[in-house]
Amino acid sequence: MNKLIGILMLFMLLSCEKNKSTPVANNEILINENVIENIPIKQEAETIPFDATSTDLNYLERNRFEYFKTIETPNIDFSLIQVSNCIITADFSLPDISSMHIGLGTALPQSLVTENYISRGWRDEFYVILTLDTDIEKPITFTAKNSLFEYIYPDKIKINELNDIYDENEIYGYYFEITFEHKPWLYNNDNVWNIIVKSGDEEILNDNMIFNFSHLLFNELDNSPFVENCLNTVKVNDEYKYIFKSEDTDILVIYYSFLADLLPYTIYRPILYLLPNKSNNDFTTIIITWSDEQLKGKYYIKRYKFNALPIGNEETIVIDTITVI
């Protein structure tokens, strides 16, 4: 047994001596060339060019921004758009905006109304939501006040039932819609409107609403929040005013919209870059005329600050388009 143990110890000693590292001189690292030869070389990813002829919808969806680039702008002379109080510039080039065709939903509830409240729409309009125990036999009045003015809705308010979409006999409450256009020169720099709704002499709703002004495109202007002057449809050869908040805008970009044939998207392509001649007031107004029949179609105007220009593809929901007829 002792002889066997001795043989094992001698074998282990010889193995250790054989595996000892050779001293490295001058801090050089010794490398086994055979090992290097067996290390796989990392291959760079192959760039596959976009197939502009493909009709594979899944493929086009995955590469939709490349697909959008292949779609040519309609052959329209956009230089026929006449503008004033601004300078047309060619010093900018922004990417397309894409907007998927989806529904915007509803501002109305689909359950029992437990309190009176205001529901905002996608534009400046809103809905007043009322509970089932509201006395709708009494006249309903609507008042909007701010630090400068008080406006009472001048027309008779039509009360509607809130019905279940599957069972019209199931009533959740009541509602009425108010067209309310926030004209910022009708307030005193606070953006706040106090909304008061009464049923007869009883106050059933008192709430504050904050509005952030963006723009108005109009040809006539009425100083009432209950008159909508902002236009979504304009006519060829007519002159329109576009007013916006001066401090929020360094450049305006006019986009032309057209459809992506194979995918459910609208493409908004920049066709005109405008540097406004800003006034010393809070608001600046430029004049726009679509002065030729070939300019008919849909447009979108967006305002940017120079330090917030998009640097990549934009995908968003666009709702405030302008239709030229």
Place of tokens 């094992």: 8
Contact 250, 256 (CB under 8 A): no
The structure's pTM equals 0.80
Q: Residue 311: helix, strand or coil by DSSP?
A: coil
Residues 261 and 161: their CA atoms lie apart, in Å, by 41
Q: Reduced to 3 states, what is the DSSP secondary structure of residue 47? A: coil
Q: Cα(320)–Cα(275) distance, rounded to whole angstroms? A: 21
pLDDT, greater one: 236 or 103: 236
**What are the tens digits of pLDDT across the range 134-186?**
999 999 999 999 888 899 999 999 999 999 989 989 999 999 999 999 887 88
The phi-psi region of residue 285 (left if phi > 0; otherwise alpha if psi is between -120 and 50; otherwise beta) is beta
Residue 232 identity: N
Residue 62 CB partners (closer than 8 Å, separation 6+): none
pLDDT for res 191: 81
262-302 tens-digit pLDDT: 999 999 999 999 999 987 788 999 999 999 999 999 999 99
Q: Which residues of 40-74 are buried (b: 16+ CB within 10 A; e: fewer)?
A: eeeeeeeeeeeeeeeeeeeebeebbeebbeebeee
CB of 80 closer than 8 Å to CB of 285: no
> CB within 8 A of 292, min separation 6: which ones?
77, 80, 236, 237
**CATH of region 117-210, choose from 3.30.1240, 2.60.40, 1.10.3470, 2.60.120:** 2.60.40
For residue range 92-114, list pLDDT tens digits in order: 999 999 998 776 666 799 899 99
For all residues of the chain together, what is the average pLDDT?
A: 86
DSSP type of residue 264: S
**Residue 123, pLDDT above cutoff 80:** no
Q: What's the rounded Cα separation, in Å, for the pair 135 and 200? A: 9
pLDDT tens by residue, 194-207? 999 999 999 999 99
Whether the pLDDT of residue 4 is over 60: the answer is no
178, β-bridge pairs: 126
Q: Which two tokens stand for residue 19?
A: 């595996």
**pLDDT tier, 129 (very low <50, low <70, confident <90, very high otherwise):** very high
pLDDT computed for residue 1 by the predictor:
46
- With the C-alpha atoms ordered 68, 73, 78, 79, is the resulting torsion angle positive or negative? positive
Confidence of residue 46 (pLDDT cuts 50, 70, 90): low
Q: Quick one: pLDDT at residue 138? A: 95
User: Where are the domains positioned within the chain?
Assistant: 57-103+214-324, 117-210
Has residue 21 got a pLDDT over 60?
no
For residue 47, name the pLDDT band (cuts at 50, 70, 90): low
